[in-house]
Structure 1
Amino acid sequence: MAAISGGKTYHHGDLRNALICAAVDLATEGGPERVVLREAARRVGVSPTAAYRHFDGRGELLRTVKIHAQRALADSMERAAAREPGADDPALAAERRLAALCRGYVGFAVAQPGLYRAAFCVVRQAGPDELTPECRMPEPEIRAFTLFGEALDALARAGAPRRDVRPSAGAAAWSAVHGLSLLLLDGPLRRLPAQRRNAVVETTLAMVVTGARIS
Structure 2
Amino acid sequence: MAAVQPPASRATYHHGDLRAALIESGLALVREGGPPALVLREVTRRAGVAPNAAYRHFANHQALFEAVRAAALGALARAIEAELRHAEALADPVERARDMLAAVGRGYLGFAQAETGWFRTAFAFGQHDVAVPTDPARTGEKGLNPFELLGYALDEMVQAKVLPAERRPGAEFLAWSAVHGLALLIIDGPLRHATSETRRGLGMRLLRMVELGL
Q: TM-score w.r.t. structure 2 length?
A: 0.83
Q: Which residue of 1 aligns with 2:68?
A: 65
User: Could you tell me which of 36, 39, 46 is aligned with 1:33?
Assistant: 36
Q: Which residue of 1 aligns with 2:213?
A: 211
Runs of 4+ in 1 over 4 A off after TM superposition: none
Q: Which residue of 2 aligns with 1:77?
A: 80
User: Could you tell me which of 99, 102, 127 is aligned with 1:99?
Assistant: 102
- Structure 1 unmatched ranges of 5 or more: 1-5, 125-137
User: Could you tell me which of 173, 176, 183 is aligned with 1:174?
Assistant: 176
Deviation at 1:120, TM superposition (A): 1.0
Contact kept in structure 1, 2:84 and 2:103, CA below 8 Å: yes
- Give 1 or 2 for the bigger CA radius of gyration: 1
Deviation at 1:152, TM superposition (A): 1.2
Deviations 1:154-195 (A, max 9, x none): 111112262333311111011111111111100001110111
Deviation at 1:9, TM superposition (A): 5.7
Q: Distance in 2 between the 1:7 and 1:151 partners?
A: 42
Q: Which residue of 2 aligns with 1:155?
A: 157
Q: Distance in 2 between the 1:208 and 1:154 partners?
A: 15
Q: Distance in 2 between the 1:123 and 1:42 partners?
A: 25
Change (3 A) 1:14 1:94: same
Deviations 1:126-155 (A, max 9, x none): xxxxxxxxxxxx553772111111211111
Residue 140 of structure 1: SS of its match in structure 2? coil
Q: Which residue of 2 aligns with 1:51?
A: 54
Q: Distance in 2 between the 1:171 and 1:58 partners?
A: 30
Q: Which residue of 1 aligns with 2:134?
A: 140
- Structure 2 unmatched ranges of 5 or more: 1-8, 139-144
Counterpart residue identity of residue 202, structure 1: M
Q: Distance in 2 between the 1:38 and 1:54 partners?
A: 15
**Two-structure CA RMSD over aligned residues (Å):** 2.1
Residue 17 of structure 2: SS of its match in structure 1? helix
Percent pairwise identity: 44
Deviations 1:52-111 (A, max 9, x none): 222222111101011111111111111111133744431121001110111001100100
Contact kept in structure 2, 1:152 and 1:165, CA below 8 Å: no
